[in-house]
Amino acid sequence: MFMQLILILLIAMATPYTHAGMCERKNTYYYRNAELNQFPAKPSEPISNTEADQLEKEGSEYYIHVVCESGEPVSLTKRWNKRLYFEIKYLYENDQLIGQKNINANGEINEYYTE
């Protein structure tokens, strides 16, 4: 029993985690666009919460970027046609950004890691 507990702890320590649980405070920002061909993705053209609400009502696309108060990215979500289009959750290991988990509108998940 003790050895099983040790094994579970070792596996948990080696598993990448999202930074959301590690942030004391998170901030949410809204954007009109994002450069998705870089890692981590870089949102651009900031908009207000009110503008994001209006884009949601219209079914237009916009991005929601959640970051730790210290600046580390937690997630980037694209909304379009009044629904989730995709979400990127950033993965960390030993407080280092090592990859991302992409979740599409159908709930399918793909993980990508830096080399």
Domain boundaries, the chain: 2-113
HSE of 86, CA atoms in CB hemisphere, 13 A: 13
Average pLDDT score over residue span 2-29: 57
Q: What is the pLDDT of residue 3?
A: 41
| pLDDT of the residue at 18 | 55
Pairing of strands 62-68, 26-35: antiparallel
Q: Long-range contacts for 82-91 (Cβ within 8 Å, ≥24 apart)? A: 82/56, 82/57, 85/61, 88/40, 88/41, 89/18, 89/20, 90/18, 90/19, 90/40, 91/16, 91/17, 91/18
Tens of pLDDT along 31-74?
999 999 999 999 999 999 999 999 999 999 999 999 999 999 99
Q: What is the pTM of this model?
A: 0.81
Look up residue 16 and give its DSSP letter: -
Q: What is the pLDDT of residue 90?
A: 97
